[in-house]
Amino acid sequence: MTGPAPAAIPVARHAPPGMKGAAPAAIPVAPAQKGPPVAKPAPAGAKGPVAPQAVEPTHHEDVVKHFAGHVDRANLSSAKKAAHKQTAAQVLRQMTPRALRRIVRHSQGGIHYHNDLASLRDGLAAYLEKGGQAEYAAPLRSGKTRPGGAFTWLRGKGALHLDGGYSAEQIAAGRVGSRYGRAASARDIHAHELSHAIDGQLGSKTALSQSQEWKDAYHAEIVPSLPDGTAPLSEYARKKHGDKYLYNEGFAEMGRLLYSGTVSHEEVQANFPKAYAFWVKQGLVAPLAKLLATDDKPRRTMLHEIFDTSITTGPIHIDAISGDKDER
């Protein structure tokens, strides 16, 4: 997707990419509901300039190192390691301290990086089998389900499972793709899956996507079709499992929109004012330094489709792809 440059997040300074030799899992988890105070976000629709939210650069650096440590521990090529670290850092730096704290707290079961889709599938299957969830591993082993990324919650701990998506060269060569849209970039996958971690344990009362406020915003802005019949955010964001909407997918797709850096926050707010206000209120996005006066632009689907099937069942959440092309 092309679009205007993302709104600058007021981060004072960034850690350099490629944190070689960083120690994994060195981040202490802040107690639930505690932690450094987050500047009070402005209400959506407020007039005039809004003071930017304070973002703690130290915390960004810590979490970037935390991810880099997990990348270093994975069995990856050096090129893939460098790529994963760069992508994780790019996405993490779009986030607020509260978003980062939730990711760290909700990934105590590990951040599992893989070289490609095949090793992601096998690694996820092994993880599920080890966790006593063989029934969920079976469709992976049989090849029925092809995960593009996953977030699981086993034995009280969340875990991220990432391949990281495809390189620009692979996408340009047309060698990868989902059935409905273009291939997922590494930033797409990271932003979507990390947003599942921000959301938290599926089915728990603490999961943000299960709050009435999110559901209201979802039904008002993510479900209704645009005049041309297309989805405002993405088809995947308004997917149903049976007759139930997958609010968590809408949440993760909103996170992809906000954190993958492809669309300005002004545009996000103009198209999804309620959903955007929810994310700001939760302290997950820095408020805009400058608000738009009006939105008179024609609306369009804001995200390309990258996933085909959401497998949201029990403790497992898998974003599956069903394109007939492989990445190699």
- Using CB under 5 A as the criterion, which residues of the chain lie in contact with Zn ion when the complex forms? 252, 319
What's the Cα-to-Cα distance from 21 to each of 104, 172, 307, rounded to whole Å?
19, 32, 33
* Amino acid letter, residue 142: S
Write down the least CB distance from residue 84 to Zn ion, Å. 19
* Structure letter (DSSP) for residue 38: P
Write down the least CB distance from residue 312 to Zn ion, Å. 8
Residue whose C-alpha is closest to residue 253's, from 200, 199, 212, 206 = 199
- Exposed, middle or buried by CB within 10 Å (0-12, 13-18, 19+), for 272? buried
Write down the least CB distance from residue 284 to Zn ion, Å. 16
- Closer residue to Zn ion (CB): 72 or 319: 319
- Closer residue to Zn ion (CB): 53 or 248: 248
Write down the least CB distance from residue 249 to Zn ion, Å. 5
- Closer residue to Zn ion (CB): 111 or 252: 252
Write down the least CB distance from residue 79 to Zn ion, Å. 27
- Closer residue to Zn ion (CB): 72 or 278: 278
What's the Cα-to-Cα distance from 272 to each of 93, 101, 183, 210, rounded to whole Å?
22, 25, 24, 18
| 3-state DSSP assignment of residue 81 | helix
- Closer residue to Zn ion (CB): 38 or 128: 128
- Closer residue to Zn ion (CB): 42 or 198: 198
- Closer residue to Zn ion (CB): 69 or 236: 236
Q: Is 87 in contact with 190 (CB distance < 8 Å)?
A: yes
- Closer residue to Zn ion (CB): 36 or 203: 203
Helices (H), the chain: 57-73, 78-92, 97-105, 117-130, 134-141, 168-172, 186-199, 212-221, 247-259, 265-271, 273-281
Write down the least CB distance from residue 43 to Zn ion, Å. 29
Classify the C-alpha dihedral 13-163-168-23 as positive or negative.
positive
Write down the least CB distance from residue 179 to Zn ion, Å. 16
What's the Cα-to-Cα distance from 203 to each of 165, 252, 254, 258, rounded to whole Å?
27, 15, 19, 23
Residue whose C-alpha is closest to residue 285's, from 245, 255, 307 = 255
Write down the least CB distance from residue 11 to Zn ion, Å. 26
| 3-state DSSP assignment of residue 309 | strand
Token digits for 219? 């039904």
Write down the least CB distance from residue 287 to Zn ion, Å. 26
- Closer residue to Zn ion (CB): 75 or 204: 204
Residue whose C-alpha is closest to residue 67's, from 126, 11, 113, 10 = 113
